[in-house]
Structure 1
């Protein structure tokens, strides 16, 4: 349980105009459990009159999977497994073939480095306890296989290929996790400025599952009370920035600890403008 002092701090800062996501970020930095932080902010928002609220669901224009249960994307038919409205999120099957999953894992194994995050104060890259994984980055169009995957993902997400960051492959061993966080760059934090200058705000994420962990490893959305189990070839899309640049704080998410086996994923982030 969050202490009374922290609950009071949340209410006071909401009353003076702080955004919900900025408060969650501070609590995560103080090593407060993400679920407790999210619950405290949610409860305080319901009790504080005039507290700031974020935009509604950020579905892109013409995004087929907001309502359709299947669609042809490139050379394959994608089907919806699950969908939630807030945040705007949909779990799809058949986004990657088994061969593509195996290829990305094999390609990444010799390039793994400890995973990092962006410091909210300085914008520098740093390692933190809340993220226990290793990863490999590939520039956009790294090879023919990755270029073909990126073309498919761009069509799926309704954004130009040039708006995508390079593909990132992540590996979580047993016990590995990524505590709840946001993928977008909080505009009120000074460390976000150099990243926003390279293509604007992130608008959406696509997490592709490359294998089947034996237990755990779900992608969780604490504010929505939702969890998605990783299965090879499936992908989870979620959006958090609308056409006016408004951000959806309900997109707080994390990777639950891997309770058995290991977890491999590939992530694609997209920006408002072409990414440099």
Structure 2
């Protein structure tokens, strides 16, 4: 595919490449941040990003907003994503503080960020393998491209330890990451050139015993609205 053709398919490609380069330089200059050893994708983690009390407070807020998780192109009844989830209100000063800390770590403007979403997985619940970026061939793309465009980075925080199951798995990267309370996991959904990276496909594996709580924050190429 030529560069011109790629830009037609991925209109935010140059912007996403610039965001990726900026975030990459920022993260790799921070000795507290670990980069997973794979050349197929840019995926990082930092331990103890949230305190135990912050995790506890976030779990309460997740429970208060949780309802059957939604997807752009799969109904809850499909069984593709069976967790419960809800957006956490930015009118809450605590949530604004949490979001700002993630924004500052990555160095992405807060206006590019979707509202942080809380997710709860009970035994048997899962999120099957998927990519976080938008597929431009799908009908929903015509709406989301006007509301900030393509997703760039994902940040996901684990809020508790799970008795059994519930790992976040990247099958093409051969990575399986168990929930670690307070840890923040983040990855670039794009390749360095700004094109979607299919190797970022990942899954929330079924919880076998206990309950899994996480929050997720997605960043767009442009201002999200």
Q: Please tell me the TM-score bracket, short chain as reference.
A: 0.7 to 0.9
Give SS of 1:135's match. strand
**1:69 Cα offset (Å):** 2.9
Change in CA separation of 1:143 and 1:190 when aligned onto 2, cut-off 3 Å? same
5+ unaligned residues in a row in structure 2: which ranges? 1-16
5+ unaligned residues in a row in structure 1: which ranges? 1-55, 71-78, 120-124
- In structure 2, what is the Cα distance between the partners aligned to 1:62 and 1:164? 14
1:129 equivalent among 79, 98, 101: 79
1:174 equivalent among 99, 123, 148: 123
Q: State how many pairs are aligned.
A: 208
Change in CA separation of 1:82 and 1:241 when aligned onto 2, cut-off 3 Å? closer
**1:95 Cα offset (Å):** 1.4
Instruction: From the CA coordinates, give the structure whose radius of gyration is larger.
Output: 1
Give SS of 1:117's match. coil
Deviation track 1:60-95 (CA, whole Å, cap 9, x = no partner) reads: 32533336431xxxxxxxx43845442210121121
2:63 matched to 1:86? no
**1:265 Cα offset (Å):** 0.3
Deviation track 1:136-155 (CA, whole Å, cap 9, x = no partner) reads: 1124x331111111111111
Paired position in structure 1 for 2:21: 60
- Whether the 8 Å CA contact 1:82–1:92 is kept in 2: the answer is no
- In structure 1, what is the Cα distance between the partners aligned to 2:71 and 2:23? 32
**1:59 Cα offset (Å):** 4.2
- Whether the 8 Å CA contact 2:46–2:185 is kept in 1: the answer is yes
Q: Comparing both chains, which one has the higher relative contact order based on Cα–Cα distances under 8 Å and sequence gaps of 6 or more?
A: 2
**1:126 Cα offset (Å):** 2.9
2:93 matched to 1:144? yes
2:178 matched to 1:241? no
Change in CA separation of 1:240 and 1:110 when aligned onto 2, cut-off 3 Å? closer
Question: TM-score under structure 2 normalisation?
Answer: 0.84
**1:216 Cα offset (Å):** 1.3
- Whether the 8 Å CA contact 1:59–1:88 is kept in 2: the answer is no
2:175 matched to 1:226? yes
Change in CA separation of 1:242 and 1:222 when aligned onto 2, cut-off 3 Å? closer
Paired position in structure 2 for 1:111: 65
Change in CA separation of 1:177 and 1:169 when aligned onto 2, cut-off 3 Å? same
- In structure 2, what is the Cα distance between the partners aligned to 1:224 and 1:243? 17
